[in-house]
């Protein structure tokens, strides 16, 4: 369905359709929305860093194993 939508739109990016979630967000006081946004930013940044650290460690271990095998 997504592919058909992309073809229909002639390879143009289109905005996602929104529903009641936006209206709900408008009812949350701005300071709370701001705090929640920063919480999400912080959590996502940490998850990305943790994942990249795991990849880096995996690469280092692979290189060390390759050197040990000669």
pTM over 0.85: no
Instruction: Give 67 or 5, the one with higher predicted confidence.
Output: 67
Instruction: Give 7 or 38, the one with higher predicted confidence.
Output: 38
Q: Please state the domain extents for the chain.
A: 20-69
User: In 33-70, which positions are buried (b, 16+ CB within 10 angstroms) versus exposed (e)?
Assistant: eeeeeeeeeeeeeeeeeeeeeeeeeeeeeeeeeeeeee
């Amino acid at each position: 369905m997504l592919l058909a939508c992309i073809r229909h739109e002639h390879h143009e990016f289109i905005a996602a359709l929104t529903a009641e979630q936006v209206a709900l967000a408008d009812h949350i006081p701005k300071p709370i929305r701001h705090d929640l946004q920063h919480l999400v930013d912080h959590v996502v940044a940490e998850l990305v860093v943790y994942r990249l650290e795991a990849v880096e460690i995996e690469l280092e271990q692979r290189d060390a194993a390759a050197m040990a095998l000669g």
